[in-house]
Amino acid sequence: MPGAVAGRKKIGVLALQGDFEAHERALRRAGAEAVEVRSAADLDELDGLVMPGGESTTMWKLINEEHLVEPLREFGRRRPIFGTCAGAILLASEVANPPQPSLGLMDISIERNAYGRQLDSRIARLQPQALEGDLEAVFIRAPIIRRVGGDAKVLASYQGDPVLVEQGRHLVATFHPELTDDSRVHRIFLNKIP
């Protein structure tokens, strides 16, 4: 198992832009080791990677500037990636409003800022199919997942739209599980790592 220290999973957090520090804290609360990723070399020895929320256009620009597009795609072919909000946009195969390039590691179509300006952010209570009990979900200028590929599994929905989806080794959330004290969503991700 790469990089694991005394059984702890070693998870990178893409730290180019956005709320990566909140993810580091959330991963530590869930029992993992968290390290910041800023270059391709930082991906060595990781068991998994989190792509945080933030601003996906800016993040994509920085990913290009740091020559991370192919290293991230290659990492995602071998190991789990968890994308939240902007991170989910970057993992999708198709991005709308406006269209922009992405890693294409998950077969989902996603529309940016899809709840509109008036409802920029909100806290919702979800009843996820995949979890016991309610889940508090923080949405901030969130995208909506408009299509999921055949083998994707919807783990939670909000107003009829998927908001937590897994496909193969990867997981995306359109909300911000790193902003609450509840570690269950991060644990779903950690459980994907053998």
What are the catalytic residues?
85, 176, 178
3-state secondary structure of 91: helix
Q: Which of 43, 46, 51, 85 binds ligand GLN (CB under 6 A)?
A: 85
Minimum distance from CB of 106 to ligand GLN (Å)?
A: 16
Minimum distance from CB of 50 to ligand GLN (Å)?
A: 13
Q: Which of 40, 69, 107, 113 binds ligand GLN (CB under 6 A)?
A: 113
DSSP state string for 26-88 = HHHHTT-EEEEE-SGGGGTT-SEEEE-SS-HHHHHHHHHHTT-HHHHHHHHHHS-EEEETHHH
Residue 56 interacts with ligand GLN (CB under 6 A)?
yes
- Measured from the CB atom, is 155 or 179 closer to ligand GLN? 179
> What is the dihedral sign for C-alpha 70, 73, 76, 82?
positive
- The answer to whether the beta carbons of residues 135 and 183 sit under 8 Å apart is no
Residue 141 interacts with ligand GLN (CB under 6 A)?
yes
Footprint of ligand GLN (CB under 6 A)? 53-56, 85-86, 89, 112-113, 140-141
